[in-house]
Structure 1
Amino acid sequence: MSAPAGDAAAVLVVGAGPAGVMAALRAAQLGARTTLITSGAFGGMAANDGPVPVRTLAHAARLLREARQLGRYGVAVSEAALDYPRLLVRVREVVGEVAAASTLRPQIDAAGVVVHERAGAVRFVGPDAVVTAAGDRYQAARIILATGGVSRRLPIPGFELTATHSDAWSLTAVPASMLVVGAGATGAQVASVFNAFGTKVQLFQAGERILPTEEPEVSAAVAAAFRASGIEVHEGFGAIEAFEKTADGVRMLYAKDGVRGAAEAALVVSCVGWSADTAALDLAAAGVEVDGRGFVRVDAHQRTSAPQVFAAGDVTGGLMLVGPALQAGFVAATNAVRGPVETMAPDICPVGSFTDPEYAQVGLGEARAREQYDAEVVRVEVGASTRAVIDGRTVGFCKLIVDRPTRRILGCHLVGDRAVDVAQIAAVAIAGGLRVDDLARMPLSFPTYGGVLGRAAATAAHRLNQGAAAPQLWAGEHS
């Protein structure tokens, strides 16, 4: 079950989510004899419990919303009804199809990586060896940790009565009512999806606004849209004191400034953040240190405090997204095999969520951009985009942030249909150092949702070029 001790060509990867899979593939491609162990199924949370099933449910929610528009477009059908058990069958089908074709499994097998799935808990028994729950021992000169994260638990009486997002996705029926505690990306998605399914949803955020990592106007726009759709949004509600069982579900007790309140529902879903999945690893046995939040500490090369151990993905506490996890896995494996030759690329990572409406961002926010640059900020409403009008999806905006002297694009923030897709265009423009004038002149297909970005670029270029020798650009060019 192990490579020879001290074998410099042996790499062991623990965890088969995006970071672990990429690390294993990269190590094998560089010539290392590579073994991949995972406690669960290949693909990790991303394929089995995260973006893939979530996006499938979000697609079903979109179909329900679109079905409600059919009469507006002259299409007469009976009212759409959700068959939730059948939807769950489709979710499992999608997860299976992704696992077979889209999680790099074919490439992993072709590269000769030895894969051990459902190995159970894995723990260190030294700086270069681990054992599984079944007693199997694996040893390698380099070990890469990619065990991911788990839902954070709160030390609150009755917290065991709450569910996680994983429990929400695996329900056998749509609950009549739901409290969602925590309104970051995960909580917002849970609330949005089940609201579309017909659940009466109350969304609670202890901070002053939902989606606290987004621009303030993004938070405000999404909160307004949620409320308009029937979600009860409670921002700055105070502190939770306890959860207690009721005849029909769970009650949450909370207080703010000495004033107590209560809310109850058939189900309470806690979405209060993530912790590193390291409880079973016995990191001390390998000399691996964690930071103040409990995540594995790594340097710029993804190396931990133990020279032979690297880490990548959610377990390190960085951006907990598939894209950065893939990149970190690549960097960790490269350095594990070749030495410290790679670091993570500049922080240009589009972030978004499949809520209704969608929201997305890439690059700098307005406040930080104004601190560091002479920033020009342009906001264009989605309702000005032809495609949005055609589809009847006119809620939202595109905010573009540009450096005046260089005309470089610094950031883009969006709310509206297909915002996540549009953000990818902005990400490529930022990564390529594209000037806003060049983006404004780019002949994007018409009519598409990307047009709102082109319109924002044209508006910014027009403002910046007023009084200059450069030709003027009109915002209407990308309508």
Structure 2
Amino acid sequence: MAFDYDLFVIGGGSGGVRAARVASGDHGARVALAEEYRMGGTCVIRGCVPKKLMVFASEYRHINKDARAYGWDLEVKGFDWTVFHAQLENELNRLEGAYRNTLKNAGVETFDQRATVKDAHTVRLADGREVTAKHILIATGGTPFVPEFEGSDLAITSNEIFHMKALPKRALIVGGGYIASEFACILNGMGVETSQYYRGAQILRGFDEEARGHIATQMIASGVNLQCGTDVLRLEKTDTGIRAVATNGTEDEFDIVMYATGRKPNVAGLGLEDVGVRLGKKGEIEVDDWQQTSVPSIFAVGDVTDRINLTPIAIREGHAFADTVFGGQKRKADWDLVPSAVFTQPEFGTVGKTEEEAEAEGPIEVYSATFRPMQTLFAGRQDRVLMKLVVCAQTRRVLGCHIVAPHAGEMIQLAGIAVKMGATKEDFDRTVAVHPSMAEELVTLRKPVRKS
């Protein structure tokens, strides 16, 4: 059978674009890609990139105060959301253009419309056209959702927060994951009176317990009204805002209420189940190590598979898929020891096992230190950073590295190389410290604080 394309990609995010570019540009396949919103996907348009730019913007409040301690006579009149937001939109437009040029230069045909799956080799476009492909790749990512409760229609999600016309004076963030915690810090840094409600005992579930507690303490000290063990019963519209009636008995009013209580795979209405693609309990597309679904001609990469929901993972999965199917290289992505960063304030970088995970598997030694970093100490701030290594007591291998500090994401990228290579505690010890720096603590931790 002759197909219109060798590959049709549904979804123009990081994973789909990488797969399309490599399949077409590197391996000569005939490739088309459909994206219904904006090219670049969640990360570029309504996720990692605009969020990180908001993080940068929110940090200048503290930098301004610190500057005075360092002798700078500055006059800052405040934060102007409209100025920042206009610049943000310009940058997102630039990045979307770059993604489009990447596909164009690789010879990928693009369709700016929704696409669904009709059968194992046929894609139906929103305008009614149907095209065929030898292989179909689903790369539609994930989407935030708000649970249904009284007044839930008054809440926004991380998708909408990037498009606020004005900066609110009072904000409530509901959720305890990294997205909720990041935006609580962002808005607080921008001068918004910010509360965060989380029904669990501590934020950032799944991360290292000591690191979670350290971050929560620092967030509260910086001004975030963090209320764990608290959930919203209902939201009510008032003449002056949104009243949140909470399980802790409070009834506070806010200008915006943002829910970040989870994301789900973006599979609704794609027609996957009708053609036999197996989905998991959360709607995730079930794939094997080669990204192949239960329908041999259909593959999936990225958050829509709900494995490790990180942009670099989606990119690696997309690249490995293209090399395997079109480059004859039989390559699969590597999901082991993936470094990651949470852009709270303070920032959190982590790779490997948490102390709790490692302890459950065998005897360990824990090396950690908390201290006030030189830069903010000089300015009179009470900020504290955390450096932590989790070490196997038998092999001496560093099983986990956890950093809570400014620029922790930058530090963990390099620490991740060592952990990935199987470095031992003695390898860290043999490394000469870079002084004065925060990261030197990672190679000067001599005595364990805990053993098990």
Residue aligned with 2:230, SS: coil
Match of 2:20 in 1: 24
Point out the more displaced range, 217-226 or 308-317.
217-226
RMSD, aligned CA: 2.4
**In 2: Cα distance, 1:310 partner to 1:178 partner:** 40
Point out the more displaced range, 320-329 or 173-182.
320-329
Letter in 2 for 1:52: V
Match of 1:469 in 2: none
**In 2: Cα distance, 1:340 partner to 1:71 partner:** 57
Taking a change above 3 Å as real, the CA distance of residues 93 and 405 of structure 1, as seen in their structure-2 partners, is: same
Per-residue Cα deviation, 1:340-377 (whole angstroms, up to 9, x for no partner): 93333142111212221111211001111122243211
Q: Is the 8 A contact 1:422 1:453 kept in 2?
A: no
Per-residue Cα deviation, 1:294-320 (whole angstroms, up to 9, x for no partner): 111111211111111010111111221
Question: Does structure 1 residue 134 correspond to structure 2 residue 127?
Answer: yes
> 419, 426, 430: which is aligned to 2:415?
426
Per-residue Cα deviation, 1:423-454 (whole angstroms, up to 9, x for no partner): 11221111122223223333454434432323
**In 1: Cα distance, 2:330 partner to 2:30 partner:** 20
Q: Is the 8 A contact 2:14 2:314 kept in 1?
A: yes
Match of 1:109 in 2: 104
Taking a change above 3 Å as real, the CA distance of residues 405 and 389 of structure 1, as seen in their structure-2 partners, is: farther
Match of 1:363 in 2: 352
Match of 1:451 in 2: 440
Letter in 1 for 2:67: L
**In 1: Cα distance, 2:94 partner to 2:102 partner:** 15
TM-score (norm 1): 0.87
Taking a change above 3 Å as real, the CA distance of residues 224 and 38 of structure 1, as seen in their structure-2 partners, is: same
Match of 2:41 in 1: 44
Letter in 1 for 2:28: G
Give aligned-pair identity as a percent.
28
* TM-superposed deviation, 1:286: 2.5
Question: Does structure 1 residue 60 correspond to structure 2 residue 57?
Answer: yes
Q: Is the 8 A contact 1:156 1:242 kept in 2?
A: yes
> 161, 167, 175: which is aligned to 2:168?
175
Match of 2:192 in 1: 199
**In 1: Cα distance, 2:374 partner to 2:78 partner:** 30
Show the 5 A alignment for 1:113-262: 113-116=108-111, 118-119=112-113, 121-238=114-231, 240-255=232-247, 260-262=249-251
> 10, 13, 31: which is aligned to 2:9?
13
Unaligned runs of 5+ in 1: 465-479
* TM-superposed deviation, 1:382: 4.1
Letter in 2 for 1:47: V
Q: Is the 8 A contact 1:352 1:359 kept in 2?
A: yes
Question: Does structure 1 residue 317 correspond to structure 2 residue 310?
Answer: no
Question: Does structure 1 residue 302 correspond to structure 2 residue 299?
Answer: no
Residue aligned with 2:21, SS: helix
**In 1: Cα distance, 2:424 partner to 2:47 partner:** 35
**In 2: Cα distance, 1:231 partner to 1:318 partner:** 31
Q: Is the 8 A contact 1:353 1:360 kept in 2?
A: yes
* TM-superposed deviation, 1:387: 6.1
Q: Is the 8 A contact 1:10 1:142 kept in 2?
A: yes
Match of 1:75 in 2: 72
Match of 2:257 in 1: 268
Residue aligned with 1:361, SS: strand
**In 2: Cα distance, 1:36 partner to 1:453 partner:** 45
Unaligned runs of 5+ in 2: none
**In 1: Cα distance, 2:93 partner to 2:371 partner:** 36
**Number of paired residues?**
449
* TM-superposed deviation, 1:138: 2.6
**In 2: Cα distance, 1:65 partner to 1:386 partner:** 15
Match of 2:90 in 1: 93
Per-residue Cα deviation, 1:7-38 (whole angstroms, up to 9, x for no partner): 7x701111111111111122222232111211
Residue aligned with 1:141, SS: strand
Point out the more displaced range, 20-29 or 186-195.
20-29
Residue aligned with 2:216, SS: helix
Taking a change above 3 Å as real, the CA distance of residues 402 and 438 of structure 1, as seen in their structure-2 partners, is: same
Taking a change above 3 Å as real, the CA distance of residues 392 and 98 of structure 1, as seen in their structure-2 partners, is: farther
Q: Is the 8 A contact 1:10 1:33 kept in 2?
A: yes
Q: Is the 8 A contact 2:369 2:441 kept in 1?
A: yes
* TM-superposed deviation, 1:331: 2.6
* TM-superposed deviation, 1:390: 6.0
**In 2: Cα distance, 1:48 partner to 1:444 partner:** 39
Q: Is the 8 A contact 1:180 1:187 kept in 2?
A: yes
